[in-house]
Amino acid sequence: MKSSRFFLPVALMALSTVAFAQSDASHPGTHSEAHASSTAVVSSETQKSFDQLKNLAGEWTGPVTVTEMPELHTTMALSLRVTSRGHVLVHEFQEAGTPLDPTKYDHPVTMFYVDGDQLTLVHYCDAGNRPRMIGTRSPDTRTVDFELKDISGSTEYHMHHAVLTVIDANHHTEDWTFMMKDKPMHAHFDLWRKN
């Protein structure tokens, strides 16, 4: 009985994957062409920005400094992974060395994806809300700057701004601004690739 409860969801997932692949193959010129035309609508700058972020997939670690709390000294662990057939980049932070227990430790999750012609970030915050931000790549193409567009849930405490800067394939920085009521807190993460 126990094994059938496990097997059924796995079987359904496998069937949906096969069905989706067969649908693509059996309808040449429909789904593939529709996908190609929808991809063409995405501005090349938006897609380039997203592709640049996807290249950061992997495990990262590094110190965080908070401007308003100079006494804070901690190291963060970051996992970045590409999912959903390459359409989403999942960003997961936690303090290095802490157990993966989101009921006791901060473990915010952020999703990056292309929405129409916009590079979008949705931050699933430990504060219980979901800010959505829109990214713009800098002229030097190393930095993507995300500005708050809207927020679901309470706005009293929320992530307000994010800047990701690629130094090279093994080093990047992230600057996040968190609003505590009307007071901003600025955190700078200096991250190095672990693998």
Domain residue ranges in the chain: 2-40, 43-193
CB-based contacts of 113, cutoff 8 Å, min separation 6 = 50, 84, 87, 88, 89, 119, 120
Q: Measured between alpha carbons, how far is 69 from 123 in angstroms, rounded to an integer?
A: 23
pLDDT at 33 over 80: no
pLDDT > 70 in the chain, percent: 75
Fold topology of 43-193: Lipocalin (2.40.128)
pTM: 0.76
The pLDDT of residue 104 is 66
Percentage of the chain modeled with pLDDT above 90:
61
pLDDT higher than threshold 60 for residue 15: no
- Rounded (10°) CA dihedral 185, 70, 187, 169: 170
